[in-house]
Amino acid sequence: MTASEADELRRAVRDFLKSASSSARVRELMETDDGVDRAVWAQMATELGLHGIVIPEQYGGAGAGMAEQAVVFEEMGSALLCAPFFSTIALAAQAILCSGDPAAMADYLPTFADGSATATLILNGRLEAWDPRAVTLTARTEATGYRISGDADLVLDGRTADVLLAAARTTAGISLFAVAADADGLTREPLVTLDRTRKVARIRFDDVAARLIGIDGEAAHGLATTSDLAIIALAAEQVGAAQRCLDMAVDYAKERIQFGRAIGSFQAIKHRCADMLVLVEGARSAAVHAADCAGGDGLPTAAAVAKLTCSEAFLQVALDSMRIHGGIGFTWEHDAHLYVRRAKASELILGDPDHHIQRLAALVTSSSHHPEGRS
């Protein structure tokens, strides 16, 4: 993707979200049970083609790469889009792609690309970093197929997803399954969380019929890759939201008059805005590099760096933006606190900074013991 193509894509998504995900609309949707405007969802899929960017052309998508998808997620993060886009596209669609199951790709991906179905992915039931040892759902075989049992306490868009993909443990190992939303024995309970712009649910599987995706016992590698690709999308979201926080802070600093001067002329405010800019640009570099590493051997390291860098940058910039706004920034009526809530919640999804610091240490140590891993 050339720079001009990226700019054109960015402008198209930004212009669309200006009205589709305005502050007023975000506040309306986050108070609803579903948290999505179905008309906007359909427009995103059919008119803009956003759902199918990384889905292969044979399944109704554009067959583009993570670089293009990262641009979309950056703009969605900036606008705090209320929609199951991350869960459907970054998690579920990638999990099916990484499974290598031709039948599953043919059955599910076209419905994700055209917006007719939403989905989510349960890695460990807690929205935490991928770890096969943390998989608690179990699946058993019977004459007609598989059945899943167990609880998943925190599932993104779990209440509204048409398809629930879940990692579960079988006698053969970690496997991936698909469960229909209307399956018998499935219980979905909506939860109220810190970030109301993302819907979360508690899911219970009581011997629920499930379809095996891929090969029984061999899903761990594909799910690890899915997690890293989802981290890249989340990092791009964080960059977009952090940039919006910086822009809001700078605009306010130019307009807010105190002691006869715009507060942006005060040295303390100048320094704080400069520090915010450094954080945003550093996070953007990490996210862009991670997107470029998608599909390569450096993906795990790049994803860990991006999640660590973008999580810390977004949270700090969101807090600084709130502080620059002064008292109004701490009120429910101002959007600053919405970004702080999103920043804290996003920091914890798929592994917090401490986890990824430890992960990087393990990756570097492992690499240093192999000649091909040395620079």
What's residue 364's pLDDT?
Answer: 87
Domain 120-219 is in which class? Answer: mainly beta
List the Cα angle 15/306/99 in 5-degree steps. 85
> What pLDDT does residue 370 have?
61
What is 3-117's CATH topology?
Butyryl-Coa Dehydrogenase, subunit A; domain 1 (1.10.540)
Q: Name the residue ranges covered by the structural domains of the chain.
A: 3-117, 120-219, 221-373
What's the N-to-C CA distance of the chain in angstroms? Answer: 28
pLDDT for the residue numbered 265:
73
In terms of DSSP H, where are the helices of 178-298?
220-255, 267-293
Q: How many angstroms separate the CA atoms of 274 and 60, rounded?
A: 44
Which tokens go with 68?
């293009």
Fold (CATH) for 221-373: Butyryl-CoA Dehydrogenase, subunit A; domain 3 (1.20.140)
pLDDT by residue for the chain (375 residues), tens only, comes to: 777 888 999 999 999 999 999 999 999 999 999 999 999 999 999 999 999 999 999 999 999 999 999 999 999 999 999 999 999 999 999 999 999 999 999 999 999 999 999 999 999 989 999 999 999 999 999 988 999 999 999 999 999 999 999 999 999 999 999 999 999 999 999 999 999 999 999 999 999 999 999 999 999 999 999 999 999 999 999 999 999 999 999 998 888 877 878 777 788 899 999 999 999 999 999 999 999 999 888 999 999 999 999 999 999 999 999 999 988 888 888 999 999 999 999 999 999 999 999 999 999 888 766 654 433
CB burial class (10 A; 0-12, 13-18, 19+) of residue 259? exposed
Determine if residue 201 is left, alpha or beta; phi over 0 gives left, psi from -120 to 50 gives alpha, anything else beta: beta
Token pair of 264 as six digits: 């942006």
Strand-strand pairing, 257-258 and 145-156: unpaired
Q: Are 29 and 36 in contact (CB under 8 A)?
A: yes
List the structure tokens of 340. 């702080």
* CA 151, chain centre distance (Å): 22
